Structure 1
Amino acid sequence: MKMVRNTLLIILLFVSSIVVTHAQIKLPRLISDGMVLQRDIQLSLWGWASPGEKIQLTFQNKKYEGTTDASGKWAIQLPKQKAGGPYDLHFSGTTSITVKNVVFGDVWVCSGQSNMELPMERVKEKYRTEIAQSENQFIRHFLVPDRYNFKQEEQDVSGGIWEAANPKNILNFSAVGYFFAKDLYARYQVPIGLINSALGGSPVEAWMSEEALKKFPNHYKEAQRFKSDSVIRAIEASDNKRAQDWYATANATDKGLKAWHKTDLDDTDWQSINVPAYWASSPIGNVNGVVWYRKKINIPSAMLGTKLSLWLGRIVDADSVFVNNVFVGTTSYQYPPRRYEVPAGILKAGENTIAVRVINSAGRGGFVEDKPYFIASASDTLSLEGQWKIKVGAIMPPLQGPTFIRWKPVGLYNAMIAPLLSFPIKGVIWYQGESNTGNPVEYASSFPAMISNWRENWKQGDFPFLFVQLANFMQVKTEPTESGWAALRQSQLKTLNVPATGMAVIIDIGEWNDIHPLNKEDVGKRLAFQAQRIVYGDKKIVASGPLYQSSAIKGNQVILTFSSTGKGLTSSDGKELKYFAIAGADKKFVWAKAKIEGDKIVVWSDAIPNPAFVRYAWADNPEGANLCNKEGLPASPFTTEQFDVSER
């Protein structure tokens, strides 16, 4: 009998613990300490508790109530609030939670791929003063963790906290997002909340719901395929084994792994290469595998005694760096800038040796040009450019790249956007497109479809959607040519036909050798210009450079008309207009002359007596394109061709 009573007691305690646990109020991670809530709009604050439980919100000595539904979800309506704070919100039911330090302001979702995701930490050397002066409790940032889900829309994000801007926290902020928020706060003194939900390398279809993807059958079909866990496991297993085998062989066959970083190594028989450069241009040729670099440098005694840093620009792909036989750092992929701290006592006055082991699995490997290469103390720098020694450690076949499952259609929408849809926002800033340059014409349909998809599911009407046009990137071409990047910019330009959209043109601030240009301040400012005009009603602001509107053919000339001309058309360098190309009906483009006549531009070429089409800045990297308005904002690239899906 005693055993029965004990068993019943255990069961009752177990059941009781389930009820208590289930009854606890749970809030989504966005509704947490330090959050920014959208001002001037009725808010629906939500969470979870026991089915049928009454939940009460106490705010400013007023009480608001809601009741959980059969699934345990509840929502409480909070009336419109003006900008301000901080406040506390107290939620109570069987249990209670207080959310502290809440402000009301404008909430912006920052999304896209790596140029939006890129944190201030990556550009901290460029913006040291900005970071040091960043203290502002009214600019706040919430970083949504990277995650995908192909099977269903998630109810909450997997992590994240609200952080106010200060010299420590700001390193985690989206750099573009921060400068956008900083500019808006300076002008309007309204708290700004940034929800950073972006992922490097992601194509637009990864950010679309399953329903929206039905208009794009190939992407929809792929989304269905990746609902299978077994498919994902098989791909990951294959990718991992292929990469592990490749790197294991590279390490096992690398002749220099145990000795070539040593200071006393005799490298007189090594070949020479001028750094920065890719080794394909050196005597070792275009090989993949492991290549070692060595350089002897003389350090003056005046540079010693303070913290020293080693700047090695960018290296393709992975590097391990040794100074005087001491390992000082490594980077596993090509994009981050190489900045290594050299511990005290490693460098000495006189001769020192730097050794760099570079692993390149595909394409051209080496040191990227037009990047900084030097050793720096607090007061001086010593260049590392010039002659280095080079030797192959191991030659390997190119490694087939992995399948980036996280970029597949619908996955990011389900895990990184769907959980945000109940959180009211002011609008979206978007920087993406690089990953869709392989099919730029489709982007003219898929990008507007994604905007419509978000607006429909956020249920806030046509909220502002401000986006960045692709920057200039890659080698400059000397003749007119086709370009996936230019074609995608055209698709972005056409997206301005979607209501309440704005575009920041940045073809003047990219970097030919870096898909992640460092100038994020001007990107943020140009997005803020668009927000001032579209969102905050400043009709006097010239938010954009010239935008192509229409063309007319008169004899051998094409007359172009523009909007957003501001105080007038001009060239950024005071010289004649450049980067205009003209073609007849055969679309064989040649460089053209162009001149400004009032608010129009006249384009012609003696080689094209019967012109049909004009292009401007139509290239991956239209360096030298100089059309702008007198406010200094660059014109968007364009073509006068009818450029649509039917042409592919």
Structure 2
Amino acid sequence: MKTDFKRFAFFAAAVLATATAQAKVELPTFFTSNMVLQQKAGVPLWGHSNASQVTVTTSWDNKTQTVKTNGGDFKVTVKTPSYGGPYTITFNDGDTVVLSNILIGEVWLCSGQSNMEMPLEGWGKVLNYQEEIKNANYPQIRLLQAEHIDKPLPVDNLVVQAGGWQVCSPATIPLFSSTAYFFACKIYKEKNIPIGLVHSSWGGTVVEAWTSAEALRTIHDFDSVLDGMQNEQARAAQEQKYADDLKAWNSKVLAADKGYQNGKAVYADLAFDDSNWADIKVPSFFENQGFPDFDGVMWYRKSFELEAVNGNGHFEYYADDNDRLFVNGVEIGHTDGYSVLRIYTIPANVLKKGKNVIAIRVVDTGSGGGLYGPENLHITIGRESRVRELAGNWKIAPGVSFADVEPAPYMPAGQNRPSALYNAMIHPLIGFKFAGAIWYQGESNADRAQQYQTLFPLMIKDWREKLGDSKLPFIFVQLASYKQAKAEPEASAWAELREAQAMTLKLPNTGMIVATDIGDAEDIHPKNKQEVGERLARVALAKVYGTKIDYSGPVYKSFAKKGNTITVEFDFKDGLKANGGTLKGFAVAGNDQVFYWADAKIEGGKVVVSSAKVANPVAVRYNWADNPDGNLVNASGLPAAPFRTDKWSGVTEGRK
């Protein structure tokens, strides 16, 4: 790879934890003790020194290279052997810096949004997390955690946690990516090779944020936003226009909100009669309790009694996405952001002896919405900290659906600006050697699934080019099942996103795992990350490491129509069967494009489908839903990938 010495200038400000106070050699944050270097590779090492030359000595071969500095920067390539260690690397420019406990093995880049970020403990709490953490004694697995940083332009300094690489242990694993950890465990147990995990992900992010501006410019979908990121004048104009448009839109929403009349929050009034409102259990998302696919303003109400008022109230909860809290008709405060803990103080003069009413106006812009979080929802009152439990039954009513107003203006901000995460969390890794990448993302792009057909492979090719490996293995997770199951077949943005992911398999050296059988209707972050990690590892073992192991469920191959039936053929078809009970998940349609659930049966290693409601079927779909329940597997027990045989227009067509 051609060296651009200018890109190393940032090292003048870097501090290496293992260096002595006098040492002049400064290294990137990902060159530290405890690291893993890719085996059998030419691995670049670079840094900064005030001296005219630097010597680099590697203990695995006892070789020393001397390299001259250029403007203070130096770079040398070392040859790594087959896996092993521990080793040391010594840098000397008159002072000595020694990196110790280095392993040679397989290094994987782990990225995506919250389902990749989801830690074993912390906010994640995966299945059996306490036992998993207790057993996480894997000194041959090493962890590097990138901080959440976004930048409008590429930078060279990767900001990392804990001073660099950590040895996997019960002390270091709790807040690390659970998917990445279980992936590494499976590979290590099978191959007994040291594994290094570079975890660089961020929840709630879009794929274009992880793609370079250079690549995004080739499709022109984000040119104006990129212009604003790279030009202050353009950015100021965009921000002003967005602010004006958003103010106007919010005024229209407020005018349409039934909870307001003449600017007054009537749904928050103490005397308002909510007896005809629906009941809902809180905390939980309202989509799963009678309001499927609702995006807009939702009002909650809850009454409670006080024997006396002897101080302020204290109320904490989570809301998705934005909220406004009222008590006895008085507005207490508002908060924006779905992942932000609301912490409100209710003044004592607002509270009343006897009946009090809490009203919360929640604005949900997509996916799960409402009041969510821990079950111990309560309000604390006064000096004696009297507790009033608030979990359980609340009243709920829509204020306005966004389907009834014009679309909201949108301008990407922060970490979701196109290229912003590539710039800060991927670009600094250019030059570092990887065995491959694993990826779990797509939820935030589901409403633009057709565009994802272009964006996702664009990002993969972009990473390969920038990282200098055109054949870099790239393995990803297809979206798990989520949201309320539907009684009848219907359109689904999540199904279209899964299709876009499957289409990306046309790129060489890619692999995909199916996770529709291990999702959670009420949680966009399903807890069974053990299975996700193991399935990713199965693909890596089979495709990267040449291990004979089952790694795929049935994959659609072709279909043939005969009379009122359609026969579907699959790859990976050995041992086709229904995983418990009758085969389900298939739907058929005629030329009217209306789908009905199909009767499905396995015959001769194929699936034959039909429906009494469709005399002349022309198309088949399987697990085409937000939360599908299809149960087709093969002898491995791995689930079949969702598919459709038609090319009819989807609900995300044309969205950008």
Asked if these proteins are the same fold (TM beyond 0.5), I'd say: yes
Give the match's secondary structure for 1:581. Answer: strand
Matched residues in 2 for 1:410 and 1:493: separation?
Answer: 23
Does residue 1:62 correspond to 2:69, yes or no? Answer: no
Counterpart of 1:83 in structure 2 is 83
Counterpart of 1:301 in structure 2 is none
Does residue 1:157 correspond to 2:165, yes or no? Answer: no
Does residue 1:583 correspond to 2:584, yes or no? Answer: no
Of 180, 192, 195, 2:195 maps to: 192
Does residue 1:472 correspond to 2:481, yes or no? Answer: yes
Matched residues in 2 for 1:286 and 1:488: separation?
Answer: 19
Alpha-carbon offset, residue 635 of structure 1: 0.9
Matched residues in 2 for 1:628 and 1:314: separation?
Answer: 38
Of 433, 443, 466, 1:457 maps to: 466
Equivalences for residues 289-438 of structure 1 within 5 A: 293=302, 333-335=337-339, 360-362=362-364, 373=375, 386-387=392-393, 403-438=412-447
Matched residues in 2 for 1:358 and 1:36: separation?
Answer: 50
Alpha-carbon offset, residue 162 of structure 1: 1.3
Alpha-carbon offset, residue 469 of structure 1: 0.2
Q: Is the contact between residue 46 and residue 76 of structure 1 (CA under 8 Å) also seen in structure 2?
A: yes
Q: Is the contact between residue 141 and residue 195 of structure 2 (CA under 8 Å) also seen in structure 1?
A: yes
Once the two structures are superposed, what CA deviation does each residue of 1:431-453 show, in whole Å capped at 9, x if it has no partner? 01112222212222221222122
**Structure 1 residues 117 and 254 mapped into 2: Cα distance closer, same or farther (>3 Å)?**
farther
Q: Is the contact between residue 462 and residue 500 of structure 1 (CA under 8 Å) also seen in structure 2?
A: yes
**Structure 1 residues 642 and 170 mapped into 2: Cα distance closer, same or farther (>3 Å)?**
same
Matched residues in 2 for 1:555 and 1:238: separation?
Answer: 58
Give the match's secondary structure for 1:40. Answer: coil
Counterpart of 2:577 in structure 1 is 570
Give the match's secondary structure for 2:458. Answer: helix
Alpha-carbon offset, residue 507 of structure 1: 0.7
Give the match's secondary structure for 1:197. Answer: strand
Alpha-carbon offset, residue 466 of structure 1: 0.5
Matched residues in 2 for 1:82 and 1:294: separation?
Answer: 67
Alpha-carbon offset, residue 49 of structure 1: 2.6
Matched residues in 2 for 1:279 and 1:459: separation?
Answer: 46
Does residue 1:499 correspond to 2:490, yes or no? Answer: no
Q: AA paired with 1:620? A: D
Matched residues in 1 for 2:529 and 2:94: separation?
Answer: 48
Give the match's secondary structure for 2:534. Answer: helix
Alpha-carbon offset, residue 590 of structure 1: 2.3
Query: Mind listing any 5+ residue stretches in structure 2 that lack a counterpart?
Result: 1-20, 255-262, 307-314, 328-333, 344-354, 379-388, 399-404
Q: Is the contact between residue 554 and residue 641 of structure 2 (CA under 8 Å) also seen in structure 1?
A: yes
Counterpart of 1:174 in structure 2 is 177
Of 129, 132, 135, 1:130 maps to: 132
Q: AA paired with 2:123? A: R
Matched residues in 2 for 1:311 and 1:134: separation?
Answer: 34
Counterpart of 1:305 in structure 2 is none
**Structure 1 residues 366 and 90 mapped into 2: Cα distance closer, same or farther (>3 Å)?**
closer
**Structure 1 residues 295 and 367 mapped into 2: Cα distance closer, same or farther (>3 Å)?**
farther
Alpha-carbon offset, residue 66 of structure 1: 4.3
Alpha-carbon offset, residue 90 of structure 1: 0.8
Does residue 1:595 correspond to 2:637, yes or no? Answer: no
Counterpart of 1:637 in structure 2 is 642
Does residue 1:529 correspond to 2:538, yes or no? Answer: yes
Query: Mind listing any 5+ residue stretches in structure 1 that lack a counterpart?
Result: 1-20, 261-265, 298-309, 323-329, 340-352, 377-382
Q: AA paired with 1:171? A: P
Counterpart of 1:607 in structure 2 is 613
Matched residues in 2 for 1:550 and 1:286: separation?
Answer: 37
Give the match's secondary structure for 2:203. Answer: coil
**Structure 1 residues 61 and 521 mapped into 2: Cα distance closer, same or farther (>3 Å)?**
closer
Q: Is the contact between residue 204 and residue 433 of structure 1 (CA under 8 Å) also seen in structure 2?
A: yes
Range with greater deviation from structure 2 (130-139 or 26-35): 130-139
Counterpart of 2:633 in structure 1 is 628
Once the two structures are superposed, what CA deviation does each residue of 1:408-459 show, in whole Å capped at 9, x if it has no partner? 2222222211111211111000001112222212222221222122122222
What percentage of aligned pairs have identical amino acids? 36
Once the two structures are superposed, what CA deviation does each residue of 1:68-124 show, in whole Å capped at 9, x if it has no partner? 453443222222222222222111114332112211121110111121122222233
Matched residues in 2 for 1:22 and 1:612: separation?
Answer: 75
Once the two structures are superposed, what CA deviation does each residue of 1:24-45 show, in whole Å capped at 9, x if it has no partner? 3221111012211112222221
Q: Is the contact between residue 504 and residue 526 of structure 1 (CA under 8 Å) also seen in structure 2?
A: yes
Give the match's secondary structure for 2:222. Answer: helix
Alpha-carbon offset, residue 544 of structure 1: 1.5
Q: Is the contact between residue 124 and residue 131 of structure 1 (CA under 8 Å) also seen in structure 2?
A: no
Counterpart of 2:104 in structure 1 is 104
Once the two structures are superposed, what CA deviation does each residue of 1:454-501 show, in whole Å capped at 9, x if it has no partner? 122222341211100011112222222221111111111122222121
Give the match's secondary structure for 1:122. Answer: coil
Give the match's secondary structure for 1:439. Answer: helix
Alpha-carbon offset, residue 205 of structure 1: 1.8
Matched residues in 1 for 2:285 and 2:536: separation?
Answer: 36
Matched residues in 1 for 2:579 and 2:533: separation?
Answer: 20
CA RMSD of aligned residues (A): 4.6
Once the two structures are superposed, what CA deviation does each residue of 1:148-169 show, in whole Å capped at 9, x if it has no partner? 3333x32221333212222232
**Structure 1 residues 236 and 356 mapped into 2: Cα distance closer, same or farther (>3 Å)?**
farther
Once the two structures are superposed, what CA deviation does each residue of 1:303-341 show, in whole Å capped at 9, x if it has no partner? xxxxxxx99898765699x9xxxxxxx9985458999xx
Q: Is the contact between residue 505 and residue 636 of structure 1 (CA under 8 Å) also seen in structure 2?
A: yes
Alpha-carbon offset, residue 531 of structure 1: 1.2
Alpha-carbon offset, residue 130 of structure 1: 0.4
Matched residues in 2 for 1:356 and 1:84: separation?
Answer: 62
**Structure 1 residues 191 and 55 mapped into 2: Cα distance closer, same or farther (>3 Å)?**
same
Alpha-carbon offset, residue 175 of structure 1: 1.4
Alpha-carbon offset, residue 405 of structure 1: 3.2
Alpha-carbon offset, residue 208 of structure 1: 1.9
Q: AA paired with 2:580? A: D
Question: Normalising by structure 1, what TM-score?
Answer: 0.75
Q: Is the contact between residue 144 and residue 160 of structure 2 (CA under 8 Å) also seen in structure 1?
A: no
**Structure 1 residues 278 and 471 mapped into 2: Cα distance closer, same or farther (>3 Å)?**
closer
Matched residues in 1 for 2:358 and 2:410: separation?
Answer: 24
**Structure 1 residues 388 and 435 mapped into 2: Cα distance closer, same or farther (>3 Å)?**
closer
Question: Normalising by structure 2, what TM-score?
Answer: 0.74
**Structure 1 residues 555 and 595 mapped into 2: Cα distance closer, same or farther (>3 Å)?**
same
Alpha-carbon offset, residue 613 of structure 1: 1.6
Q: Is the contact between residue 80 and residue 104 of structure 2 (CA under 8 Å) also seen in structure 1?
A: no
Does residue 1:509 correspond to 2:489, yes or no? Answer: no
Q: Is the contact between residue 105 and residue 193 of structure 1 (CA under 8 Å) also seen in structure 2?
A: yes
Once the two structures are superposed, what CA deviation does each residue of 1:219-266 show, in whole Å capped at 9, x if it has no partner? 2443233212455567779999999xx9xx9xxx999xxxx9xxxxx9
Q: AA paired with 2:607? A: I
Give the match's secondary structure for 1:134. Answer: coil
Matched residues in 2 for 1:401 and 1:292: separation?
Answer: 30
Give the match's secondary structure for 2:451. Answer: helix
Q: Is the contact between residue 312 and residue 373 of structure 1 (CA under 8 Å) also seen in structure 2?
A: no
**Structure 1 residues 401 and 569 mapped into 2: Cα distance closer, same or farther (>3 Å)?**
same
Q: Is the contact between residue 275 and residue 367 of structure 1 (CA under 8 Å) also seen in structure 2?
A: no
Q: Is the contact between residue 319 and residue 362 of structure 2 (CA under 8 Å) also seen in structure 1?
A: no
